[in-house]
Chains A and B, each alone.
Chain A
Amino acid sequence: MASKKTPEINGSSMADIAFIALIFFLMVTTMDQEKGLPRRLPPMPDENMKLENEKVNRRNIVVVKINVNDRVFAGDEPIDVSQLKDKIVEFLTNPLNREDLPEKVVKDIEGFGPYPVSKGVISLQNDRGTTYSQYIAVQNELVKAINIIRDDFSRAHYGKAYAELDDAKQKIVRKCIPQQISEAEPKDTKLQK
């Protein structure tokens, strides 16, 4: 009597099946990473809490404006996008403690000690007709300026670039050099049309 066995399944086509599945996933996959400039919008102001406490000293604020023709103005003078970075670095660090640049307030930073933190605020204003690419270019320059200052700071105090520090130290650096970019209310931008 012949013994009845289940015949073995031929596994040689396994590779082909796997290849087809592989090709399917290769086609549908998207490997692009989400990259960009992260920002935090200011919360909507309350109706009854008007802008009383929003009065910032004039020396502490630099207005970066982009007009309808994509021209950039820092303060009131026109400036090229490539020079904006240096202007912002000077504004935020105020190395000579000039009277017309932002004041500094000595704050006790946790884990670091007292440090004179600049009170400078960059106010970015744009027209409704500004192109998005110019807006991003300016935003990029502002971030670049802040990154330069943070890098200088961390090299001076920790001997490493900002990106190489651990999280706790990065937090300290962020507290010492805050990123104060205010994206203006649109009502301001309508006025300058």
Chain B
Amino acid sequence: MATFKKSGKKTMPAISTGSLPDIVFMILLFFMVTTTMRQTEHMVMVNLPAASEISKLERKDLSSYIYVGTPLKKYQGKYGTDSRIQLNDSFRTVDEIRDFVAAERENLSEQDRPFMTVNIKADKDTRMGIITDIKQELRRCNALKILYGANAVE
């Protein structure tokens, strides 16, 4: 009768780590492709409101951001605690949105310009007055596509 005998001194063969660099490189490439560097530093506290009927923005590269909220602690001495607008990386006023929109539009290619979206990221405790002012200014600059930033909620 043929039997399979277990020889007592058999050890598990070591797992070859020869392909480890390849695996790591693969993960690395994935992150390199999907990464988007954080371009601006937040200077205002933005705690987005929650909404359930949200949709995703298809093209991130077409969007420009307007942050609205209370300045961070370290800026509060200078700028106070009232809601402020942050464009790129400085505090701005409503009147400066016009130049900002013009500059952002300039950065896009000709055929992408009509699809430019202004992403309003406002803190949930912001008063609507400042948002209304922003909206009016955007209408004046003919930047009509906007997105009210919100977090998903179940």
Contact = CB atoms under 8 A, between A and B. Distances in A.
Contact of B51 (A26, A39, A66, A140): A140
A147 B35 contact: no
Contact of A128 (B117, B132, B146): B132
Interface in B9-39: 17, 20-21, 24-25, 27-28, 31-32, 34-38
Contact of A40 (B24, B53, B131, B145): B145
Contacts of B132: 126, 128, 186, 189
B36 to A, nearest CB: 6
A111 interface: no
Given A25-B28, A186-B136, A43 B144 contact: yes
Nearest to A37: B148
A37 B147 contact: yes
Interface string A6-20: 000001001100110
B149 A35 contact: yes
Interface in B113-154: 117, 119, 122-129, 131-132, 135-136, 138-140, 142, 144-152
Interface string A21-54: 1100110111101111111111110000000000
Contacts of A139: 51, 148
A128 B119 CA distance: 20
B5 interface: no
Contacts of B148: 36-39, 136, 139
B144 A41 contact: yes
Contacts of B70: none
A35 B152 contact: yes
B136 to A, nearest CB: 6
Interface stretch (B56-64, B74-82, B87-95, B103-111): B56-64
A165 interface: no
Nearest to B51: A140
B38 A38 contact: no
A78 interface: no
B128 A135 contact: yes
Contacts of A183: 135
A126 B129 CA distance: 9
A18 B56 CA distance: 33
A106 interface: no
B139 A136 contact: no
Residue among A41, A137, A147 with the most chain B CB within 10 A? Answer: A41
Given A19-B24, A36-B149, A128-B128, 13 more contacts: A25-B28, A28-B38, A33-B57, A35-B56, A36-B55, A36-B119, A37-B55, A37-B147, A129-B127, A132-B122, A132-B126, A132-B131, A136-B150
11 contacts: A15-B17, A30-B36, A36-B119, A39-B147, A40-B146, A128-B127, A130-B128, A136-B50, A137-B51, A140-B52, A143-B53
